[in-house]
Structure 1
């Protein structure tokens, strides 16, 4: 579907006029369309069928921003930085964002050459603490790189700590990563991530609901978390304190019916306290420790299921039932005769002798003055 230029210009203005996720504006757009919604704000008259009193309370604040909203200049500025505007209904629009209902983005400003919709078809969010520990950074980078090796896109928020580690892990594996920003896609925040954002724009995508040159605020960080959750099949919280933006992303994922996964950490670490709370109190939260656990939750049955975890296979695990019973019947210290071993193992003497011969050949037992004894094997204690 090709969105008419008038619709694109109207949606560009709407991203300037109201903060992202405003459900009152979302309902107005859903009923009237972007162009007519914008006309209603300019006229100051809310259409019938909506909460007119509530809407008209918002109109003055929205109109105050319209004087600075020049859609053609915004589109030109975005194009200068290698970006574009993606609108609902276009081929590149990720339809999973529609799960947000009235709170879905009015449009998305995107920077990078990759296709946003295609890139997010198989995607996972990795989020966590800004003040991350070395443990959290290591886990996030390794998990992100492994997911990239399996051709999964990793979505995060471009912040310090876990977010940056996740993005860098994907880049190290030549995978696709998406950074959802709380500022314009042409704004570098934090400034220390200038190089990281350049790399993401080159091989991945920078995405924002805010227009070019928009600066971040605390509410904008929180509201963008719902977009991170909605874009992906599931959210992994790698590290999070009790009060954390990562917890809000997990909450949005839960409310949207997406998978919520949590990496456990040291019980003494405050940056893992929020993770442990999720595991303890949320029935939906699942413990994950590596990429295979994540794919087991969000992947396709038969293709991405994690292998069953087992301990190391010891030589004695390969023994038959009778040989195992005979081996267990030998005393831990000293030796014993074949008759005594047969009684203890619950087998007849011939079976005991046969098994003892096989066990001796396998290096498990050896003859001694008292009959038979265990042979020490450092690899199979």
Structure 2
């Protein structure tokens, strides 16, 4: 630790350093969106939570009761089975914790860890309630702008020329007006939004990319130059520690951070099933405004946009002024979003999460009835998806390795593997388990729609 905050200001030693180290450990121990884990941190404090969740100590009767009551206030019932199963999953990762190393690693890259105890902690993520991140890793020029001056621009990875052109105009125009443009660093609309903001931006920072993996490497690799430029002029954010790999589940959880950190979300192009729709769903659930750019009725890249306009309170956006109108007037984000939140119930709202920290299924969006063919993993629960994504594509892995990657206990992993095997999604070899060879191609194709 350097004894300075991310702006170079002196901070008190001791407690602040201890908190930062504890929260750094928690980002590796907990999966993003873990309601049970995050609530334990809120109730017991970060340092005490690390002791208990890693198995180094057991909670007292009063501590268990405090946790139950806190979860009950969010509509979540803590059962003994849930607690035991979660502890087993955290224990699988406990031996890999090295928070001081993680902090030093990102510090050498000009980054660090932002925690709720910091004055600069973005209050917008607190709207996520029990699913709020325990900390945010950052890398770049910073500082993080206030949510009231940030607008998210998201859309399809396989953007059309129309989508690219509209994004360049809208994101560039917003950035030129001092708005920070936030997106996910993916191919297609995300990339164009970042590039336009870097070219035209007058805000500080001009653009922010929220990533689904560790910030020690640039992902996707094809965007290394772009993401380096975002880090040089703007900011990279992630709730995952250095070395963490992006997965489908983490991309979906990343989308809630984009929605929470923004005053509004603008969807330029989106297929019927897409990560952009997932982000819009989180935004609606948080009471954020959602704008949608309509497209040709014959374009599959605009099918999700038209679906949002038909099935949600999203509004049409066709120019920069209409995009700016999505943002709360006067920058009073807290009161504006609070009023809207009471009037809206959308996908990704706080009440949809269970103790493990995510929706009961791996995706969230609008109503079903998609015209496109369902992917073989779309029906999986969060636990099933975590195990499925932990499975290697080629060389089989033993169960203890899968436990550490998935963050689940041996009993849960073994039971889930048997379920996946019955669905031809996993296969057992002498050396362990791997994904079913017949499903590899469809999985790689399916992941692309969410990044």
TM category (shorter chain) comes to: 0.7 to 0.9
2:135–2:239 CA contact under 8 A, matched in 1: yes
Superposition deviation, residue 56 in structure 1: 2.6
Q: Is the 8 A contact 1:45 1:56 kept in 2?
A: no
Contact 1:13/1:66 (<8 A) preserved: no
Counterpart mapping for 1:234-249 below 5 A = 234-249=264-279
1:169 counterpart = 2:182: no
Asked if structure 1 preserves the Cα contact closer than 8 Å seen for 2:21 and 2:100, the reply is yes
Selected match of 1:45 from 58, 63, 66:
58
Q: After superposition, where does 1:1-381 map in structure 2 within 5 Å?
A: 4-43=16-55, 45-46=58-59, 47-49=63-65, 50=68, 51=78, 53=80, 54-116=82-144, 118-175=145-202, 176-282=206-312, 284-300=313-329
Q: Structure 1 unaligned segments of length 5 or more: list them.
A: 303-381
Q: 1:68-113 CA deviation, whole Å, 9 max, x = no partner?
A: 1111100000111111100002122101110001111110000012
Deviation at 1:40, TM superposition (A): 1.1
* Mapped partners of 1:67, 1:163: distance in 2: 36
Q: CA offsets per residue over residues 231-272 of structure 1, 9 Å max, x none? A: 001101100000000001000000000001100000000000
Cα distance in 1 for partners of 2:212, 2:167 equals 21
- Provide, for residues 344-381 of structure 1, a one-character-per-residue CA deviation record: whole Å limited to 9, x for no partner: xxxxxxxxxxxxxxxxxxxxxxxxxxxxxxxxxxxxxx
Instruction: Give the 4+ runs in structure 1 shifted more than 4 A.
Output: none
Tell me how large the CA RMSD over aligned residues is. Answer: 1.6
Distance, in Å, in 2 between the alignment partners of 1:185 and 1:289 is: 34
Q: Give, in whole Å, the separation in 2 of the partners of 1:139 and 1:97.
A: 29
Q: What is the rounded CA distance, in whole Å, between the counterparts of 1:294 and 1:15 in structure 2?
A: 34
The answer (yes or no) to whether the contact 1:187–1:215 under 8 Å persists in 2 is no
The CA distance in 2 between the partners of 1:90 and 1:293, in whole Å, is 34
Structure scoring higher RCO (CA < 8 A, sep ≥ 6) equals 2
Residue of structure 2 in register with 1:308 after alignment: none
Give the TM-score of the pair, scaled to structure 2.
Answer: 0.65
Is there any run of 5+ residues in structure 2 with no aligned partner, and where?
Answer: 1-10, 69-77, 332-451
**Aligned-pair CA distance for 1:55:** 2.3
- Measure the CA separation in 2 of the matches of 1:226 and 1:251: 9
Counterpart-to-counterpart distance in 2, 1:94 and 1:16: 21
3-state SS of 2:158 partner: coil
| Corresponding residue for residue 369 of structure 2 | none
Give the drift of 1:27. Answer: 1.1
Max Rg structure: 1
CA distance in 2, matches of 1:285, 1:120: 19
How far residue 215 of structure 1 moved from its aligned partner, in angstroms, is: 1.2
Q: Give 1:119 deviation, angstroms.
A: 4.8
Kept after mapping to 1: 8 A contact 2:136/2:238: yes
Equivalenced residues, count? 300
Counterparts of 1:289 and 1:66, CA distance in 2? 50
